[in-house]
Structure 1
Amino acid sequence: MLDHNAVAPPVHEHVTDAVKTPALIRLTHNTVLVRFETLKVYAALGAVRHLVETGVLRPGQTVVDSSSGIYALALAMACHRYGLRCHIVASTTVNDTMRAQLEILGVTVDQMPPSDDLRLDQSRRVARVRELLTRHADMHWMRQYHDPVHHLGYTELADLLRRALPGEALTVVGSVGTGASTGGLTRALRARDPLTRLVGVQPFGSVTFGSERFTDPDAIIAGIGSAIHFDNVHHHLYDRVHWLDFQHAMAATIGLMRDHAVFAGLSTGAAHLVAVWEAARHPDRTHVVIGADTGHRYTERVFTRHREALDPATLAPVEIGSLDQLTPPWAAIDWARRPYGPVLPVRERPREPRKDPVP
């Protein structure tokens, strides 16, 4: 039966407007999945739009950045929209499907050689970007890891959530990664409700919250952790932090599809597992799970191994009180919005970011 009162969907002027809009799926009474085709369109589009409008970028100019995949595609689409050229220094984790899309969009791709070492992969990418900037003075380095301009686009997502979940006390649960999505979204939400909570998810081996002494053979979980320090991670925004190993993330990702028919990436699965744990302990709050991307690039590493997956219902974290108590395979801590600032050697310090406004 036709619903003559149904609102017609909008006709978008560019694919970025369609892709950036997530589907909101209520998984339980107090968990809502924000499912994206590619989350980082918000970051890339918001950043590029701001830089074009303020005259930092001009049509035809080339932007460059390093990426493990979804930011690369998001940036390529933003450049397509605003008439910019794009050069990506790609992680070893970028697959043929992603690379083909980038090349069709006119992106020049430098891909790092195969490596199971996350630190080596990221260090190689940063070195290559610096080499390109030396050779091409007109290139603009987007610096998704360090430039606060990448927080700006998530204000729109915060507005969407406020409209969709009016009056609900929100807890954002998402992978930390570059810090832009969880940080930008939470800042914007706290502008209206300072009690909005933020729970970050990390893999073991990431320096971001001090687990670099651990080694997880499968720890290259794109979008969750890092082997280098990111200025866009604002530690004082986080109320809780969870660390999960690959086996737990895989179990959660398979479980999300089995229980809710959601085909998503590892970072989404890991965030969902954490949200289920937190939601059981805080039933009065709505836990918003950031689903960064679909599961397509994890088909071989995760989904074809579904018979090996652990049962998520049997998994639980060890609660710790300090980082020296951190232990795999799953640990959690009350971070309590405190700062975290290891001193970096001068040679590792990123270039100082511009003082762009951050919501």
Structure 2
Amino acid sequence: MRHLLERGEVEPGDTLVDSSSGMYAQALALACHRYGLNCHIVGSTTVDHALRIQLEILGATLEQVRSSNDLRLDQNLRVQRISQLLQENPSYHWMQQYHDSIHYLGYSDIADLINKEVPDVPLTLVGAVGTGASTGAIATYLRESGRALRLVGVQPFGSVTFGAEHVADPDMIIAGIGSSIPFRNVRHDLYDRIHWLNFDYAMSGAVHLLRASGIFAGLSSGAAYLATLSELERDSSRTYVFLAADTGHRYVESAYARHAHAVNLESLRAHEVGTQAGLEPPWSSMDWPPPAHASQSTTARPLPPSGAFHSSHP
């Protein structure tokens, strides 16, 4: 937001619009409120009452697409609505959280915090891939600072981002962790390993995280926690940082209410695969890139220069 204001791409009083399943909507509304901008959110069906009230208090407007249990349909409907809004209101600024690399800029402070708080030792960062702007950006800044870093991404089955669209999980709609449509700001070459987890395992991880630490976090955090334990078992010589992106409040009915069915984590193991063809629920993991893509560069590219960041209409 600061970058856009400094470059004059938006000005106080302008309206910023984007699609969101929850946490991004809150963040955008907070930033717009701070800098005197209007905010309009095209929301997922997962936006709950508590978040709607917060958006109202912050002055943001929200419209939700029609209810759907199909993640692909939900995301497509939101993108279609954004296109309609931009045609009707050409002065609106579309933030493009799925596609614009400008969102990487927002995580430099998090990387700085990790550098300050975590000793300079071999480090593994674990977190949901989503748009790539969180894990990908933090990893990029840490590597630029000279850190010896491995990046482990977490995905749901059914996500196209790392080629799991052929494996379904009927219970899994973990908003923000994966995607049924291509996200252009995911930089695959930043990642060293990928974990795919189903709903039950992510829920079990979240329940265990609460019991072990008192941290009441969302499903993606439970999945990242479980993946981190698995990576720690593989290599205990490294220090691990995992990202807990949101709280568990909006998952109370859909996930935490099932806590009696949570599985003991000590009995859970990932199914190690060599290619996406071998992926299978409830949990699979794989080194990245797979052998078929091993010739491609896996070196983290530097972030584009500031002038390369832009948000444009579709």
In the superposition, the TM-score normalised over structure 1's length comes to 0.80
Q: 1:281: which partner in 2? A: 234
Counterpart among 220, 225, 229 of residue 267 in structure 1: 220
Counterpart among 162, 165, 188 of residue 212 in structure 1: 165
Give SS of 1:180's match: coil
Deviation at 1:337, TM superposition (A): 8.8
Q: 1:87: which partner in 2? A: 40
Aligned residue pairs, count:
297
Deviation at 1:101, TM superposition (A): 1.1
Contact 1:201 1:224 in 2 (8 A): yes
Contact 1:154 1:184 in 2 (8 A): yes
CA deviation profile, 1:258-317 (whole Å, cap 9, x unmatched) = 122211111111000000010111111111000101111111112221111111111101
Q: State the distance in 1 between where 2:291 and 2:27 align.
A: 31
Q: Does 231-240 or 298-307 show the bigger shift? A: 298-307
Moved beyond 6 Å, runs of 4+: 337-340
Q: State the distance in 2 between where 1:266 and 1:209 align.
A: 19
Q: How does 1:1-359 map to 2 (within 5 A)?
A: 48-193=1-146, 195-336=148-289, 355-356=308-309
2:93 counterpart letter in structure 1: H
Deviation at 1:169, TM superposition (A): 1.5
Q: 2:297: which partner in 1? A: none
Q: 1:30: which partner in 2? A: none
Deviation at 1:192, TM superposition (A): 2.0
Q: Does 157-166 or 190-199 show the bigger shift? A: 190-199
CA deviation profile, 1:26-52 (whole Å, cap 9, x unmatched) = xxxxxxxxxxxxxxxxxxxxxx11101
Q: 2:300: which partner in 1? A: none
Give SS of 1:63's match: strand
Q: State the distance in 2 between where 1:337 and 1:191 align.
A: 25
Distance 1:125 1:305, change over 3 A: same
Contact 1:239 1:337 in 2 (8 A): no
Give SS of 1:152's match: helix
Deviation at 1:322, TM superposition (A): 0.8
Structure 2 gaps of 5+ residues are 294-306
Contact 1:238 1:337 in 2 (8 A): no
In the superposition, the TM-score normalised over structure 2's length comes to 0.92
Q: State the distance in 2 between where 1:67 and 1:322 align.
A: 31
2:8 counterpart letter in structure 1: G
